[in-house]
Homo-oligomer: A and B are copies of this chain.
C-alpha cells in the first residue's frame, strides 16, 4: 500500500439528475425497503454502478434514499436490448439473488418505455427588478 495521497473514489460533485433524453428510451424503477442486515451492500452497490457503465446503451442512474425509509433507483437505457443485457448479467444476477436473501425486506421493479420527458434548470443570471 502506498502512502501517497490519492483522489477520493467519489469526488464531491454537484448533485445533478440524469438528463431528459430524446424519447423513446427505457427506465427501470427499482423501489426498495431494506433489512437491518446491510453488510457488503455498499461495496456491491458501488461495484454494480461501475459495471453497468459497460453495457452499450446504458444512459445513467438516479438514486434517492430516505433515511430509514424508501430507496428509489432509476436506471435509464437506450433500448430493450440494453436492458436485457443488464438484467441477464451474471454478476448482476448474483447480486439480485443476494438482495432477496439478505438486503431487501421488499421491493418493486417497474420497467417502462419513456414517451415524453423534459428538464428544468434554474437560470444562473440573477433576476433584478426591471425599469419600465
| A residues with CB within 8 A of B | 15-20, 26-27, 29, 31-33, 35, 62-67, 69-72, 74, 76, 100, 104-122
Contacts and interface: CB of A to CB of B under 8 A. Distances in A.
B106 A114 contact: no
Nearest to A120: B107
Q: Is the interface of A mostly helix, strand, loop or mixed?
A: strand
Contacts of A121: 105-106
Q: How many copies does the complex hold?
A: 2
A30 to B, nearest CB: 9
Given A111-B114, A113-B115, A116-B111, A106 B70 contact: no
A111 B115 contact: yes
Q: Which 6 A-B pairs have the closest CB atoms?
A: A112-B112, A64-B64, A17-B31, A64-B72, A112-B114, A111-B116
